[in-house]
A = this chain, B = another copy of it.
């Protein structure tokens, strides 16, 4: 999952946090090769012989852990609180029920082939951990259309209340920037920075870059769209007049023009054909270990060198014993479960609240395809942030229109509204960008992740930059990324990508390696003891 453009677009490194504590030394002492962490662990199938692991949570981190550890010979048990697997990887289809704390249940009424990926909904091509499982598990992928040049940018008070096409935002901006830079160069303003030879190369480049006229002025470009498209005979193309730079800069959504170059948003993007949960289905097919559903964990205790986990299922209290526990439960929920963690770990777990994120989907006739919008995202600002068009079922009658995807502090306030008010706001945003079509929107589904049982949030708020990604390196994060005896905390929240499935995959891989090292160390110690 990802955040709205307004909050995350230009976020990059938050800067290294100085003063690394002792925990950092311990972490690097594990000898983790950072580069190697991107590849799946290769473990001997004998490694886990006679060893038990209990995995708490069957989201992506739990499923990856179960898949890899059972192949390494461990006896694995997975406990999952929900009746379904996948965690935040959750695809809503007709007949599904959405339960949210403090809200009436919603029953999804979508017709066949219309679905909403309530959690993650796209996979960048460099998320090789996750894509590797798609390949291995036979999950068919299709292109997630993250960008359409026909999609729209609507900004409060901009362009007389009308949206502009993404193609015009992108190419008119580039035209104006190129013209201004060429002017400055030709005035000699950058002679300190550029040699004559540089200028001789840069000016023709700028002309091409911005599609400038021969006099290096920007007079508009066909790249921004046609007043009249080229056609037969004398139907000559006519380009649109350019939007003045001042008007572009007055559009509060103008930065959406570089959204597509956010490293996690760059083409090629994927989605599993048929819904994101086809990845979960792939793991379900492959995993042979017991996965106990509707298992509500009530206590996590140490037991000798190992663990004992108590859970309730259908009103019955049961326990599982194991040598190790992999704990993927969100920290904010984990904090409320009776546990035997070290005091510092307890404190760290309790110190990390959850962030907020909301999605609202409608079923609708595909009016957007009549505007040549096939997939991609229109940016609308406000609480609802965007309109995200479906990448599947192109040219069919109906589709799922995502009319809100917000995150951050603003999402907290939005989630506090009654569901009907949230739906009305999303509908109104669609109407501003696609006038008249707000009435086409039917069968709304609201997902406020802060109210979804067993998640209670989309990802943790590690503080500072709530829910955002970047260089996370705070003490609690560092501490929880080390095993606490037999307890291995695992999940996207313990990676640099808390909002992405790839973070969960990589965190699971790291845990598996750490656990393998523990097993090998224990084996070595017992061999020595036997020999002495």
Binding site for B on A (CB under 8 A): 9-10, 12-13, 16, 24, 27-28, 32, 34-35, 37-38, 125-126, 128, 131, 134-135, 140-143, 145, 147-150, 167, 170-171, 173-174, 177-178, 180-181, 183-185, 187, 189-190, 193-194, 198, 201-202, 205-209, 211, 221-223, 225-226, 228-237, 239, 245-246, 249-250, 254-255, 258, 261-263, 266-268, 270, 372-376, 391, 394-395, 469, 471, 473, 478, 481, 494-497, 503, 506-507, 509-511
Contacts and interface: CB of A to CB of B under 8 A. Distances in A.
Residue of A10, A263, A268, A478 most packed against chain B (CB within 10 A): A268
Contacts of A222: 12-13, 263
30 contacts: A10-B207, A37-B233, A37-B235, A38-B231, A125-B150, A125-B373, A125-B374, A126-B150, A134-B395, A140-B395, A142-B142, A145-B267, A145-B268, A149-B267, A177-B177, A177-B178, A180-B181, A180-B190, A183-B193, A184-B185, A184-B190, A189-B189, A223-B258, A230-B495, A232-B495, A235-B496, A237-B471, A268-B373, A268-B376, A270-B374
A193 to B, nearest CB: 7
A231 B148 contact: no
A37 B471 CA distance: 55
Given A34-B235, A141-B395, A231-B497, 16 more contacts: A12-B239, A13-B222, A16-B236, A35-B228, A37-B232, A38-B229, A125-B372, A131-B395, A141-B394, A145-B268, A150-B268, A174-B258, A183-B190, A223-B262, A232-B495, A232-B496
B183 A481 contact: no
Contacts of A143: 142-143, 145, 375, 391
- Number of copies of this protein chain within its complex: 2
Given A149-B267, A198-B246, A236-B496, A261 B228 contact: no
A126 B226 CA distance: 10
Contacts of A9: 208
Shortest beta-carbon contacts, A-B, top 10: A189-B189, A184-B184, A230-B496, A149-B266, A232-B510, A143-B143, A233-B481, A268-B374, A201-B249, A34-B235
A86 B13 CA distance: 53
Contact of A497 (B207, B230, B494, B511): B230
A267 B180 contact: no
Contact of A481 (B126, B209, B232, B481): B232
